[in-house]
Structure 1
Amino acid sequence: MFDFAAAAPHPALQQSPEFASALAYTGRAPLKLSDGTLALQRGPLLMLPRYQAPARVLPDILVNQRRPVLLNPDFRDPDIEKIGAVPLIGPATTAELSLTGDLRAQLHQKWRNRLKHAEMQNLRVTRQNMPIDPAHWLLSADAAQQRTRRYRSWPAPLNCAFAKANPGQAKLFTAFAGKTPLAGLLLLRHGSVATYQIAHTTARGRHHSAQNLLLWCAMTWAARKDMQRLDLGLISTEDAPGLARFKLGTGAKPRKLGGTWIWWPPLGKTLRPLAAWDAKLMRDDWTG
C-alpha cells in the first residue's frame, strides 16, 4: 500500500507552495487545510487537486466544511469510499521521470536516435527565465492548441503569475535555427521536482526533432540542479498515443492517479453503500 507520508517531500505541482504563491498573486489564494493540503475554492465546490492525505484523515481536516468537495488523490486510496465519497471519473495516468542515474542510458532507442538526429541539426538552444508576458509566442501557441484540441490547461496569466511569484523557477527553453524559434518548452520548478508545463513545436521543428533536444536539455539541467523527478504530465495511449510515446521514450514510468471523487461532508458515511458499489467499477481501471 502507498505510504502517503513518504510522498510529502515531493508533492505534485498543484500541492506545492510555489503553486499557492502563483494563485495568491492572481488574487485567488487557495485554502490551506490543517495538514497543509491546498484546496481550491471554485463556486460551490472545494477542490483538492493531487492531494496526498489518506482518506481516513479527511473528515478531520475538512471538519468545518459544509460544501461538496471534489477529491483528486495523487495515489489510489482503497479506503476513500469508506468516508462516503462517490467516484466520478476513473484514474488518469501520469508520466514520471527519475532524474537520478544515467539519463541517456534510460532513453528508449528510437528516442535516443531522434535526439542524435537533433544534435546534428546545428540548432541553438537557449535557457532563460520565462518572460512575464501573456502574449509571449509560446503561451499564445499553447492557448491556440488548447482551443484546437479541445482541452483545458493553465491560462497564460497563471503561467505568468507563477513566473512572477517564483523568480527563477519558470524556465523557458527555446530551440532556434538561426534567429527563428522552432520549438519552446516551459519547465516549472517546485521544490525537488520539475514539471513539464508547456511545449510547442513548429513543422520545421518536428522535422529537426527539436522537441527531443529541448526536453533533453531540460532533463539534464534539472538533474544538475539536484531535482529528483520530472513530472511529464498526463498521458493517454488512446487519445494521444504519439505524445504518450514521446514522454515514455525518455524512460519515464507511467503511474495511475487516484481518480476523481465527490464527497459532501455533512452526509458523512450516508453514501458509503453507493460509493462502495461504484468504486468496484473504478478498481477495474486501476487493474486493467
Structure 2
Amino acid sequence: MFDFMPADVRPRPIQRSVPIHALAQSQEFTRAVQLRGQKPLVLDQLGDTVVMQQRFWGRIDVAMVNRAQITKPLRLLELLQENGLRRTPVILSPQSPTPDLAKLGAVPLISPAQVAQLGLTTSKSERRAALHQKWRNRLNHAESQNLQVKCKNMPLDPDHWLLQADAKQQGQRGYRNWPIDLTLAYVHENPGKAKLFQAFEGREVIAAVLILCHGNSATYHISHSTDRGRSLSAHNLLMWKAMNWLAAQDYLQLDLGLINTEDAAGLARFKLGTGAKLHSLGGTWAYWPPMGRLLGPLAALDRRLMTPRKTGQA
C-alpha cells in the first residue's frame, strides 16, 4: 500500500520544457507490445517515434503511427521508406493537427477527435479550485462518507475483479478497450507503473481506477464503480486521490482519453469536470508510398474533414 502525500507538502521542481508523449508513443507501451510478440519500429531520429506494424486479413501489412507529434511529416515518411516500408500503406493519427500531410499525398480518413488532458503542475488548492462546481459537490459528498482509498501496484492477475468487470462492461456497452493480456503485459514489463486506486466502504471495494504511468505523464486506463460506489460518488474521490498522488510524484499530465459527448455524455462531463482541457488530435490519414504526392489534390478537396471540431463542455 502507499500513503497519500499531499502535493503541496514539498516544493515543486522548476518545470522545464520537456516533451509529453501519449501512452502509445511511450517506452513503456513499446515494452508491453514486445512482450506479446509484436515488433514495433522505433525511429530514434524522430524522438523515438513508435511505428506499429500489423497484418490485416492475413496478407496486407500496414504501418500505424498513433498519437505521435509529427513535426516533420516529410522526414517521417522518408524514414519509413528507409526502414523497408516502401510499398506499405501507412495509417497516421497525429497527436496534433498536421495539415502538411495533405501536401505530401496523405488522404484524410477520419476527422479529428478530442481528448481531455489534465495538467498536474499546479498546487493542490489550485487543482481543487479548478474542479467544476457539480464535480466538487460530488467530491465533498464522497469525502463525507467515511470511505477509505488505497493505492497499490496492479496485481499480475488475469482474474482480477477490475479487469473482469471492465471486460463485461465492454460487452454490454459495445466498446473496445485493451485486451486483458496487453494490460497484464504492461504491468509485467513496467514494475510500479500501473497504479490501482480502490475505494472501500468497510471491507467492501465499491470502485476502482487503474492509471498507467509512462515517462513524465500518466493515462486513465480503466475504471469501474458498483451501484453503491456510484451512490456515494466514490469515482470522484478516487480521481481526486489519483490526481494528487500523481502530482506528488512529479507527473506533469494525466490523459483522460477521448471525449465523446454524443455516445458517452456522462463520462465526458466527468472527465471535463476535473478541470481538464480539451486537446484536438490530428485525425486519421492514409498514405501509400507508391502514389507519393499524386493524391495531394484529392486530400486538398477535403480539408474541412480534418478541421478540428469544437466540442462544448458536455
Confirm or deny a common fold (TM above 0.5): yes
Distance 1:156 1:287, change over 3 A: closer
**Aligned residue pairs: how many?**
283
Distance 1:287 1:198, change over 3 A: closer
CA offset at residue 284 of structure 1? 6.4
8 Å contact from structure 2 (residues 282, 306) kept in 1? no
8 Å contact from structure 1 (residues 7, 52) kept in 2? no
Which amino acid is 2:64 matched to?
Answer: M
Does residue 205 of the first structure (1) align with residue 229 of the second (2)? Answer: yes
What do you get for the CA RMSD once the two structures are aligned? 1.7
The equivalent position to 2:152 in structure 1, one of 114, 122, 128, is: 128
CA distance in 2, matches of 1:216, 1:15: 26
8 Å contact from structure 1 (residues 86, 279) kept in 2? no
CA distance in 2, matches of 1:151, 1:174: 23
CA distance in 1, matches of 2:168, 2:51: 29
Q: Which runs of structure 2 are paired with 1:1-288 in the superposition (5 Å)?
A: 9-33=19-43, 34-35=45-46, 36-43=48-55, 44-54=61-71, 55-64=73-82, 65=85, 66-101=87-122, 102-283=126-307, 285=309
Unaligned runs of 5+ in 2: 1-15, 56-60
CA distance in 1, matches of 2:277, 2:164: 30
**TM-score, length of structure 1 as denominator length:** 0.94
CA distance in 1, matches of 2:290, 2:76: 13
- Counterpart for residue 3 of structure 1: none
CA offset at residue 245 of structure 1? 0.6
CA distance in 1, matches of 2:146, 2:75: 55
CA distance in 1, matches of 2:24, 2:64: 11
Which amino acid is 2:307 matched to?
Answer: R
Aligned partner of residue 103 in structure 1, secondary structure: helix
Which amino acid is 1:99 matched to?
Answer: L
Which amino acid is 2:215 matched to?
Answer: G
Distance 1:176 1:192, change over 3 A: same
